[in-house]
Structure 1
Amino acid sequence: MKIYRTFLLLFFVGSFTSHAQYTETLNSNRPGYSQGSFAPGRGVLQFEAGGKFGNDEHELLGTNTDLWGIEYAVRYGVLFEQLEINLMGSFLDQSTSYIVGGSERTDGVRNFETNAIGVKYLVYDPYKKGVERKPNLYSWKANQQFNWRTLIPAVSLYAGANFAFGDNPYLYEGEGKFSPRAAIITQNNWGPWVFVINIIGDKLGQEFPTYSGIFTLTHSFNSKFAMFAEFQGIISDIYSDEIARSGFAYLFHKNLQADISGLLNFKDTPARWQVAAGLSFRFDWHEQDEFLDMGEDQ
């Protein structure tokens, strides 16, 4: 029943995506957790960051954890329109309360929860040579038929590495401080709707690798305001979960976006909730417009 209940929530991430590799307005991955297929554009340096706070309550262990943290990403389009290098990470402060011998005890943990540097490359773009679907003057029925070509997504590949330094309490016992991660990223643009899928392998080669799928749907109501819903499934021997996120983003300026979002999961080991808010800002040194020909296949 969990999976049906989850998919009733719409799902997915993003921001204001236009029909081009380089866009005149900022194209942020916030406030969701998935990456879009497209890079920010050659010569574009983009910063995406936000704060979060929430609570994890573990029914079996009897623990209650209050947390706050900062999530950040630095993205840079380099060499080609299709290529992006990025740094993504988070800093997390946790305070966990539990009962020992009839009295309450609280332990705190504070460190970088994640850090990863990676490269993303757009390997296939169905919109680059899109041809406008012209109306059939002789058949009303032909004009009303579903265009199956719109189901073909843009596809990117991501490869990166997790890294940690010092005695990091967020590493499980025996986990190495460096480990590879990889992802397949797809993106469909359907007018005001954008659908993104990320299939991710994380901490590969470690004793407890993590595999996850993120499904993000974004709807732009106008050129400035959008909302998203997202579902993430996580599979690992250390931690598995089903997580739903939703929120809004507002474009104040072509180079500045603000966002707000929330998170809930579907189990009680632990039961989780979080709220978050953030900003995305870019320095646009793109010298040559390289808009892709995005014929509308309607």
Structure 2
Amino acid sequence: MRYFTTKILFVFFIVFNLTSVQAQYTETINSNRPGASQGAFSVGKRVYQFEGGAYFGNDYHALRKSDTDIWGTDYSLRVGLLFEALEINLTGAFQAETTIIPIGGRDTEFKRSNFRSNTLGVKYMIFDPFVSIEPDKPNLYSWKANQRFKWKTLIPAVAVYGGLNFSLGDNPYLYPGESAYSPKFALITQHNWTGSWVLVTNIIADKISDNNPTFAGIFTLTHAFTPKFAGFLEYQSILSNIYADDLARTGVALLIGDHLQFDVSGLINFKNTPDRWQVAAGFSYRIDRHKDDEFLQESEEGDYRRLRSKNLEQQKPVENEQ
């Protein structure tokens, strides 16, 4: 119970990343880092975005008495091609581990390093409520009617994802009998609520062609405290015959200009086989080749970003007069 209480406090007091993901094209970068989920919206046509970072952590297995130090780098290359709703991405991680296990009264050290994962995927947004659902017109006769809760705000944007996991050479991170190539699919939803709140859900079926497929659910709640600073809480459940766990992540992200973001994050789990913790830091950068005169679709997140930028511009004269 002591360990569980400590971890609950860790989740709520170590702040984590900006996972709010971008609708089609917007004026400022939106990154999936450093959470595990991806949003429903693409980066935008002719936008090239890199997201990467480094992490360090430890796994301690209470039954095996094994102690593993972990360090690695993760990366994602996201490209908007052909049209706004389509994104092609490559995600992966390179990881190195040093494990100490007591054998015969002596501590024995084992090391391994390789690409822990690589996935080439395609994401396509199939439904944007801001585009597909006609917004309510203001009621000129009733303030109460205008303030009433609208059920249609619960309808999320929806995207689908399909990818190919691949591993080259003799990879120690492959389980015995695991294929070097396997499919990955995900259903992605994203709610953008007033007050700068975003809820992203990923339902994932991974390595379903293998004997031990993995199913996961990721739920990420994001809040933008200012136009430049945001944080979130994330819960991930993993189900598999090989490895099952519940993970919590939290952290913050800082936007520098329109095209650069920095982030820090933390991770814990809620069991001791193994007991896990991890800290990470990274950045996201985009090269924006989106045509200036190209029509910007009125997607939910894009409209929110443009409105926010407009409000900031209107505040500047007031600040100069003070």
Q: Which is helix-richer, 1 or 2?
A: 2
2:298 is matched with 292
For residues 39-72 of structure 1, the C-alpha deviation after alignment (integer angstroms, 9 at most, x for no partner) is: 0000000000010000000001110000000010
Is residue 262 of structure 1 aligned with residue 269 of structure 2? no
- Secondary structure of the equivalent of 1:223? coil
Give the TM-score taking structure 1 as reference length: 0.92
How many residues in Structure 1 have an aligned counterpart in Structure 2? 292
Is residue 111 of structure 1 aligned with residue 93 of structure 2? no
- Secondary structure of the equivalent of 2:227? coil
Between the aligned partners of 2:275 and 2:252, the Cα distance in structure 1 is 23
Note if contact 1:12-1:231 (Cα within 8 Å) is conserved in structure 2: no
**Within 5 Å, which residues of 2 pair with 1:35-114?**
35-114=38-117
Note if contact 2:17-2:263 (Cα within 8 Å) is conserved in structure 1: no
Q: Return the offset for 1:114.
A: 0.3
Q: Which is strand-richer, 1 or 2?
A: 1
Letter in 2 for 1:26: I
Gaps of 5+ in 2: 305-322
- Secondary structure of the equivalent of 1:127? helix
**Within 5 Å, which residues of 2 pair with 1:158-237?**
158-191=161-194, 192-237=196-241
Note if contact 1:12-1:195 (Cα within 8 Å) is conserved in structure 2: no
Note if contact 1:180-1:202 (Cα within 8 Å) is conserved in structure 2: yes
1:126 is matched with 129
Note if contact 1:52-1:275 (Cα within 8 Å) is conserved in structure 2: yes
1:21 is matched with 24
2:309 is matched with none
Of 280-289 and 179-188, the range deviating more from structure 2: 280-289
Between the aligned partners of 1:235 and 1:178, the Cα distance in structure 2 is 20
Between the aligned partners of 2:178 and 2:299, the Cα distance in structure 1 is 46
For residues 141-180 of structure 1, the C-alpha deviation after alignment (integer angstroms, 9 at most, x for no partner) is: 4333211011000000000110001110000001110000
Between the aligned partners of 1:150 and 1:163, the Cα distance in structure 2 is 39
Note if contact 1:13-1:34 (Cα within 8 Å) is conserved in structure 2: no
Between the aligned partners of 1:237 and 1:15, the Cα distance in structure 2 is 29
Give the TM-score taking structure 2 as reference length: 0.86
Q: Return the offset for 1:222.
A: 1.4
Question: Structure 1 189/136 Cα, relative in aligned 2: closer, same or farther at 3 Å?
Answer: same
Note if contact 1:12-1:217 (Cα within 8 Å) is conserved in structure 2: no
Letter in 2 for 1:252: I
Note if contact 1:124-1:156 (Cα within 8 Å) is conserved in structure 2: yes
Note if contact 1:23-1:291 (Cα within 8 Å) is conserved in structure 2: no
Between the aligned partners of 1:9 and 1:69, the Cα distance in structure 2 is 22
Between the aligned partners of 2:287 and 2:133, the Cα distance in structure 1 is 29
Between the aligned partners of 2:282 and 2:11, the Cα distance in structure 1 is 23
Note if contact 1:32-1:245 (Cα within 8 Å) is conserved in structure 2: yes
- Secondary structure of the equivalent of 1:27? coil
Letter in 2 for 1:249: A
